[in-house]
A and B are shown apart, each in its own frame.
Chain A
Amino acid sequence: AQKITQTQPGMFVQEKEAVTLDCTYDTSDPSYGLFWYKQPSSGEMIFLIYQGSYDQQNATEGRYSLNFQKARKSANLVISASQLGDSAMYFCAMREVYSGGGADGLTFGKGTHLIIQP
């Protein structure tokens, strides 16, 4: 079974609209962290936001917020007021404390290709 599932291979969104990128995860660890990364066409991986499994509130970083629904094992990324520069690949990733996933590293989903249209 996949540990991280991103069901949207591609999305087209109008500039200034809000965007929700889906991510569901599978773990039996009680302690884990969820991350979102952005990869523009230039190729670098840019850290966006982090949510810990014990965090009571949803994480926010500027225009990014993470809609964390623990019971549903979902960690969707919400981008408010999208901009043309948001066009990129977006990866959801998980770090499990006990089960590894690269012994303290990250397990990545396959990504969502987001295109913002003017």
Chain B
Amino acid sequence: NAGVMQNPRHLVRRRGQEARLRCSPMKGHSHVYWYRQLPEEGLKFMVYLQKENIIDESGMPKERFSAEFPKEGPSILRIQQVVRGDSAAYFCASSPGAVGSPLHFGNGTRLTVT
């Protein structure tokens, strides 16, 4: 049973380019979460999605960031016109949804903006 798969593992973008981060949840999991981790800090919630629906995007910056979880295929976190401050580790997690079930995390995508 494969875990949460994120790709790419490392992503380097120049300022102004677009970054696309992909996440395939664990089999049977319909809840997907994106978190951002800055150096020496904990994870900060960004967005929570179920298939074809954004449930909560209260942690997403208002501009340049978007997320989707289509009916088919992985969840995508998209950052347009990246800036140096976007450099961070971005983690995707999935869960079956019950309160007591832990979120299972992928290995993260480390985005570096040069």
**B2 contacts chain A at the CB level, 8 A cutoff:** no
Q: How far, in Å, is A41 (CB) from chain B's closest CB?
A: 13
Q: Of B13-21, B75-83, B105-113, which binds chain A? A: B105-113
Question: A102 vs B67: C-alpha distance in the bound complex, in angstroms?
Answer: 15
Interchain residue pairs A-B with the least CB separation, the first 6: A103-B56, A102-B45, A45-B105, A108-B42, A47-B102, A108-B43
Q: How far, in Å, is B30 (CB) from chain A's closest CB?
A: 12
**Residue contact B100 to A52, C-beta cutoff 8 Å:** yes
Give how many A residues have a beta carbon under 8 Å from the other chain's beta carbons.
27
**Residue contact A110 to B41, C-beta cutoff 8 Å:** yes
**B91 contacts chain A at the CB level, 8 A cutoff:** yes
Would you give the 0/1 interface string for A46-89, flagging 1 where the beta carbon is closer than 8 Å to chain B? 11001010000000000000000000000000000000000000
Would you give the 0/1 interface string for B14-43, flagging 1 where the beta carbon is closer than 8 Å to chain A? 000000000000000001010100000111
Q: Given A43-B89, A43-B107, A43-B108, do A103 and B102 touch, yes or no (CB 8 Å)? A: no
User: Which B residues form the contact surface with A (CB < 8 A)?
Assistant: 31, 33, 35, 41-45, 48, 55-56, 58-59, 89, 91, 93, 97, 99-100, 102-108, 110
User: Which A residues form the contact surface with B (CB < 8 A)?
Assistant: 4, 31, 33, 35, 37, 43-47, 50, 52, 91, 95, 97, 100-111
Chain B residues closer than 8 Å to A106, beta-carbon distance? 33, 43, 45, 93, 103
**Residue contact A103 to B43, C-beta cutoff 8 Å:** no
Question: A107 vs B45: C-alpha distance in the bound complex, in angstroms?
Answer: 7
Question: A102 vs B41: C-alpha distance in the bound complex, in angstroms?
Answer: 18
Chain B residues closer than 8 Å to A100, beta-carbon distance? 56, 58
**Residue contact B102 to A35, C-beta cutoff 8 Å:** yes
Q: How far, in Å, is B77 (CB) from chain A's closest CB?
A: 14
Chain B residues closer than 8 Å to A110, beta-carbon distance? 41-42
Nearest chain B residue, comparing its CB with the CB of A51: B100
